[in-house]
């Protein structure tokens, strides 16, 4: 837990620590998510202490009025916070107040009654199948060192061929590799099994055979030129080179390959629940955005092809 100061008494601070521990241990949120929730609550407690002119206690939280909550939102808006960040902050405060209610300490529903700002839903930008495959194969043309070319091809193949996040691909250990599947540790430390198609397996095997480093089974297999764990920044730089070489849009990134994986599966009849499992989404609603992408693609094709469009 990061070191944040809370303008509240000991009883309130103890509940904050308990809540953060619950997020980490029981809900298994990632350390970055817990830190974001902690920061959100710290900002609110600081505001409330200044707004009310007193130390925040459980009684102060019980007596919190909708006017106080709106004043906090207005203050955050005036500081230029984005809609998505503000919605997350309200979600964090709702979660904390729910925690206090479950402990029978307060019964204030002020943040549950508050309407969250509407977040515009941006569709992920996927590459075409031809662009995705060309992106991976062109890596050989841009890199003179065979093992580095094989490494980058393997990482990008995992993003497109297995739908991995870049962090998931770079954290793969030798022990995670099966004969035809891969054990992936995703967000919140959750693990899932992902099948590996032949092309992806071949890319990984080529890299492992050509790597100049001894790859221990308990360590990440992807290495930098000095033998350290490969940085995501190097793969992102490779994608910048590939965008320039292939004339791809700025949205073409390692994560765009993951979006392409899901979009192409769905477009070829893939089941939404199965795609959810492959991507490691905790909620189906996160996966359902790909149905919007598919619909948008179908509409675009219709408008290009129909004589009356």
Of 88, 110, 95, nearest to 15 (Cα)?
95
Asked whether residue 4 is assigned to any structural domain, the reply reads no
pLDDT band for position 234 (50/70/90)? very high
Average pLDDT over residues 129-151: 93
Question: Would you state the pLDDT for residue 82?
Answer: 86
Number of separate domains in the chain: 2
Q: pTM of this prediction?
A: 0.63
142 and 15 housed in the same domain:
no
Mark which of 86, 113, 140 sits at the end of a domain.
113
| Predicted local confidence at residue 296, as pLDDT | 59
Q: Give the per-residue pLDDT at 292.
A: 65
Instruction: Out of 85, 113, 141, pick the residue that ends a domain.
Output: 113
Task: Tell me how far apart the alpha carbons of residues 242 and 236 are, in angstroms, rounded to a whole number.
Answer: 10
Within-domain flag for 118: no
Separation between Cα atoms, residue 296 and residue 302, nearest integer Å: 10
Pair 75, 108 in one domain:
yes
Residues 184 and 299 reside in one and the same domain: yes
What is the Cα–Cα distance from 46 to 299, expressed in whole angstroms? 49
Q: 207 and 101, same structural domain? A: no
Residue 293: pLDDT band (50, 70, 90) is low
Structural domain containing residue 88: 10-113
Percent of the chain past pLDDT 70, that is, above it, reads 89
Quick one: 46 and 137 in the same domain?
no
Q: Is the domain of 156 the same as that of 297?
A: yes
The answer on 73 and 149 residing in a single domain is no
Same domain, residue pair 237 and 281: yes
The percent of residues in the chain predicted with pLDDT above 90, rounded, is: 53
Residue 1 lies in a domain: no
Domain at 40, CATH number: 1.10.150.130
* Catalytic residue IDs: 165, 187, 255, 258, 281, 290
C-alpha to C-alpha distance for 174 and 239, rounded to whole angstroms: 25
- The answer on 161 and 90 residing in a single domain is no
Range of weakest confidence among 67-76, 106-115, 177-186, 297-306: 297-306
How confident is the model over 53-58, as a mean pLDDT? 91
């Amino acid at each position: 837990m990061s070191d944040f100061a809370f303008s509240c008494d000991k009883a309130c601070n103890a509940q904050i620590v308990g809540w953060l521990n619950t997020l980490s241990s029981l809900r298994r949120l990632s350390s970055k998510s817990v830190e974001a929730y902690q920061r959100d609550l710290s900002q609110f407690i600081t505001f409330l202490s200044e707004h009310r002119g007193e130390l925040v206690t459980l009684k102060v939280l019980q007596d919190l009025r909708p006017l106080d909550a709106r004043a906090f939102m207005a203050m955050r808006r005036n500081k230029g916070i984005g809609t998505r960040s503000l919605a997350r902050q309200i979600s964090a405060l709702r979660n904390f107040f729910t925690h206090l209610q479950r402990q029978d300490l307060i019964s204030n529903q002020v943040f549950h009654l508050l309407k969250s700002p509407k977040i515009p839903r941006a569709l992920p930008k996927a590459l075409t199948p031809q662009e995705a495959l060309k992106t991976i194969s062109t890596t050989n043309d841009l890199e003179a060192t065979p093992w580095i070319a094989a490494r980058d091809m393997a990482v990008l193949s995992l993003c497109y061929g297995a739908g991995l996040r870049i962090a998931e691909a770079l954290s793969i250990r030798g022990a995670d590799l099966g004969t035809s599947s891969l054990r992936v540790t995703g967000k919140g430390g959750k693990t899932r099994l992902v099948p590996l198609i032949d092309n992806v397996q071949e890319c990984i095997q080529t890299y492992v055979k050509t790597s100049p480093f001894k790859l221990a089974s308990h360590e990440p297999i992807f290495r930098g030129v000095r033998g350290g764990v490969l940085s995501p920044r190097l793969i992102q730089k490779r994608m910048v080179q590939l965008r320039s070489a292939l004339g791809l849009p700025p949205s073409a990134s390692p994560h765009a390959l993951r979006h392409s994986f899901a979009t192409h599966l769905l477009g070829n009849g893939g089941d939404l629940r199965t795609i959810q499992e492959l991507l490691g989404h905790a909620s189906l609603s996160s996966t359902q955005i790909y149905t919007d992408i598919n619909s948008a693609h179908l509409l675009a094709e219709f408008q290009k092809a129909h004589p009356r469009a």
